[in-house]
Amino acid sequence: MKYRVLAINPGSTSTKIALFDDAIPVFTETLRHEAKKIAEFDNIIEQYEFRKELVLNALAKHKVELSSIEAVVGRGGLVKAISSGTFRINENMLKDLKDPSLWGRIHASNLGAFIAKSIADETGVPAFIVDPVTVDEFEDIARISGCPEIERKSLLHALNLRYCGINVAEQIGKKFTEINLIGVHMGGGISVAVIKKGKMIDVNNAVLGMGPFSPQRAGALPIGDLLELAFSGKYTHQELVTMLTKTGGLFAYLGTDHGGEVIKMIDRGDKKAKLVFEAMLYQIAKEIGACATVLKGRVDGIFLTGGLVYNDYVVNALKERTSFIAAIYVIPGEKEMEALSQGAVRILKGIEEAKGYK
């Protein structure tokens, strides 16, 4: 039996939607939102009705009856730290998604649960979220930072990493819970995760944490120099956060966060572009090596995913430095919409059990 699932993934200026019959896409669409319209709302959560109406209009345009949909799944957003898997949307979750104090901010992805539950409630079908960025399956040893006032936190591209990990396990011919993997998501931010028997037990924290710099983020920095920068008086706290998370990395050095553009610069003989780009790949490879030590060398596979993986330059450089560790699997692009829908399908088919959010 095939199950029809609607997936909803809100971003800051767009809402991606996709309808799947099992793993077969019926349609996908990105609904763009003008900055002027978004600015009319006092906060992100108030955008919920506006975005929901656009989703319903898109379904009508594609002649999709709500009654044909058997589950609705939304992007998880900044919920409390939870285990991986598919969670039923409940009032406790919606309450937390409205609370900016939980993570210091509210992200547009928080809207996914509100839109999904409202549409699902209209037809009496279940509503879920799948593998939000706050998935936390760290072993205790991974939390220790070296400073008692600071604990290492799990923030990662969990949705894409777990979905790709499940697919790699199928290629290997084993269950996801039977193997050890190193998953590398490379987009605007970079997550390099240790996946031990199906659990993401360590990661660099792809926002303001450790690990390699990325197209937009500065990654780990020398502590002394960062302290000098923070207390120099040149930047406010928010300006520094923006510089380290949105205009750092490749963008800070080269004026672009687009990997393809950087490779064109390299092809034209730009030595600085070549040095900076290869430094990023060097740091990613070092992080993969560090993850291998967490697994004590028992690594069944390394997989590379995200937008940067469309570039052979990236894949070949990482293979050259890390293929001695384990076989490398290449899964270009972000599979978020598939990952959302399949998270719900696994529940509907009884492959996994839906989890309750407390």
**Which tens digits make up the pLDDT trace of 301-357?**
999 999 999 999 999 999 999 999 999 999 999 899 999 999 999 999 999 999 999
User: Which secondary structure element, helix H or strand E, spans residue 20, and what is its range?
Assistant: strand 14-21
State the DSSP code for 294: H
State the DSSP code for 41: S
What pLDDT, on a 0 to 100 scale, did the predictor assign at position 207?
82
What pLDDT, on a 0 to 100 scale, did the predictor assign at position 138?
98
The residues near 152 (Cβ < 8 Å, ≥ 6 apart) are 138, 142, 143, 144, 145, 205, 209, 210
Q: Could you give the residue range(s) of every CATH 3.30.420.40 domain in the chain?
A: 4-134+339-348, 155-326
Question: 8-42, pLDDT tens digit by residue?
Answer: 999 989 999 999 999 999 999 999 999 899 999 99
What pLDDT, on a 0 to 100 scale, did the predictor assign at position 43?
93
% of the chain surpassing 70 pLDDT = 100
pLDDT band at 277 (very low <50, low <70, confident <90, very high): very high
What pLDDT, on a 0 to 100 scale, did the predictor assign at position 186?
96
pLDDT band at 206 (very low <50, low <70, confident <90, very high): confident
The residues near 246 (Cβ < 8 Å, ≥ 6 apart) are 216, 217
Does residue 90 surpass a pLDDT of 90? yes
What pLDDT, on a 0 to 100 scale, did the predictor assign at position 223?
95
How many other β-carbons are positioned within 10 Å of the β-carbon of residue 20?
24
Average pLDDT over residues 196-202: 98
Query: How far is 225 from 230, CA to CA, in rounded Å?
Result: 9
Average pLDDT over residues 218-242: 96
Give a three-class secondary structure readout of 61-123. HCCCCHHHCCEEEEECCCCCCECCCEEECCHHHHHHHCCCCCCCCCCHHHHHHHHHHHHHHHH
Does residue 247 surpass a pLDDT of 90? yes
Does residue 97 surpass a pLDDT of 90? yes
Query: How far is 26 from 338, CA to CA, in rounded Å?
Result: 12
Does residue 158 surpass a pLDDT of 90? yes
% of the chain surpassing 90 pLDDT = 96
With tokens 């108030």, the residue in question is 46
Question: 107-123, pLDDT tens digit by residue?
Answer: 999 999 999 999 999 99
Residue 334's φ and ψ, nearest 5 degrees, are: -100, 135
pTM: 0.94
Q: Which CATH architecture has domain 155-326?
A: 2-Layer Sandwich (3.30)
Render the burial of 309-319: b for 16+ CB within 10 Å, e for the rest. bebebbbebbb
How confident is the prediction for the chain on average, in pLDDT? 96
What pLDDT, on a 0 to 100 scale, did the predictor assign at position 209?
79
In angstroms, the first-to-last Cα distance of the chain is 32
The CATH homologous superfamily of the domain defined by 4-134+339-348: ATPase, nucleotide binding domain (3.30.420.40)
What pLDDT, on a 0 to 100 scale, did the predictor assign at position 140?
97
Q: List Cα–Cα distances, 216 to 16, 26, 250, in angstroms.
A: 22, 33, 6
What pLDDT, on a 0 to 100 scale, did the predictor assign at position 18?
98
CB-CB contact of 29 with 61 (8 Å): no
